[in-house]
Amino acid sequence: MILIAERINGMFTNVKQAIADKDKKVIQELAKKQTDAGAAYLDVNVGTAAADQQGTMQWLVETIQETCSTPLCLDSQKPVVIAAGLKVINAENGVILNSTPLNKKSDEEIFDKYVEMANNAGPKASIIALTMDKNGVPQDVDTRVAVAAEIVSKAMEKGFDPQRIFIDPIILPVKVPNAQVQPGNILTAMDQIRFLSEPPPHMTIGLSNLSQGATERSLINRVFLAIAISRGLDSAIVDVFDRDLINVVATAEMLMNKQIYSDSFLKVYT
């Protein structure tokens, strides 16, 4: 399981404060602790508070890479912010560009731009591609799969290895009215997405979004994650400090025969 750690995000108050104070220590500590907890990538999101998003992204990337070589996942809805991060990054160990839809009303070519940015960032650069297009987030299974299929075929056409794509089927909060059907839909879509290429494209989700505003958040996240792993999910943006959650990942992967059993199987992510 490719775990992308979510904590370096300007939405969290301590990170927001650290960005405001240019306090490197908070960020560097988060980078180290998340790496120790099993993160394969560190998500970097400037949040909404900072006025200069591009500058903040660069500061975060430089600050983290001063002391930590874990690859980063540059997270922004704005390509210019990701591009700014890429300018200063060392992507030798890889980088994920998070994220692009298939296309947008305002920018039909947005996916191609991400492919180009990834190619410029080096052979280990990947993209998170959302199953979303100019019509928005699809509500039904078939459209989700169709968008994912288009993403994969577009990547292939451009000679971009589908193994460098992480399909994100977009998980919505289960508590939103009428959204309770979505977790099931996403699982059904995953069943089909994994057959889009051989080997299959990676699949990732922003797990914490699922339980936004709900009670028993950790439990909801854990149960969904276990089911999703059984459907082929091989990556997730998560709180790696949630030990119960990481234990669920280790156990689900072991039960799915993706990890060889050993008596200490819970230790595989640390």
Binding site for other proteins (CB under 8 A): 163, 199, 258-264, 267-268
Q: Which is nearer to other proteins, 26 or 156 (CB)?
A: 156
Min dist. Cβ of residue 261 to other proteins (A)? 5
How far apart are the C-alpha atoms of 252 and 227, rounded to whole Å? Answer: 8
Min dist. Cβ of residue 87 to other proteins (A)? 28
Strand pairing report for 41-44 and 165-168? unpaired
Min dist. Cβ of residue 139 to other proteins (A)? 33
Strand pairing report for 2-5 and 125-130? unpaired
Name the token pair of 137. 């987030």
Q: Which is nearer to other proteins, 153 or 163 (CB)?
A: 163
- Give Cβ neighbours of residue 179 (< 8 Å, ≥ 6 apart): 172, 173
Min dist. Cβ of residue 200 to other proteins (A)? 12
- Let me know: does 19 contact 60? Beta carbons within 8 Å: yes
Helix intervals (H) in 98-257: 110-121, 141-157, 182-193, 217-230, 243-255
Q: Which is nearer to other proteins, 179 or 268 (CB)?
A: 268
Q: Which is nearer to other proteins, 67 or 262 (CB)?
A: 262
How far apart are the C-alpha atoms of 131 and 225, rounded to whole Å? Answer: 19
Give the type of residue at 81: V
Min dist. Cβ of residue 258 to other proteins (A)? 8
Q: Which is nearer to other proteins, 197 or 218 (CB)?
A: 197
Buried b (16+ CB within 10 A) or exposed e, 125-151: bbbbbbbbbeeebbeebebbbbbbbbb
The gap between the terminal CA atoms of the chain, to the nearest Å, is: 13
- Let me know: does 24 contact 67? Beta carbons within 8 Å: no
Min dist. Cβ of residue 268 to other proteins (A)? 6
Min dist. Cβ of residue 123 to other proteins (A)? 13
Q: Which is nearer to other proteins, 137 or 254 (CB)?
A: 254
How far apart are the C-alpha atoms of 24 and 156, rounded to whole Å? Answer: 40
Min dist. Cβ of residue 161 to other proteins (A)? 9
Q: Which is nearer to other proteins, 2 or 245 (CB)?
A: 2
Q: Which is nearer to other proteins, 30 or 250 (CB)?
A: 250
3-state secondary structure 58-89: HHHHHHHHHHCCCCEEEECCCHHHHHHHHHHC
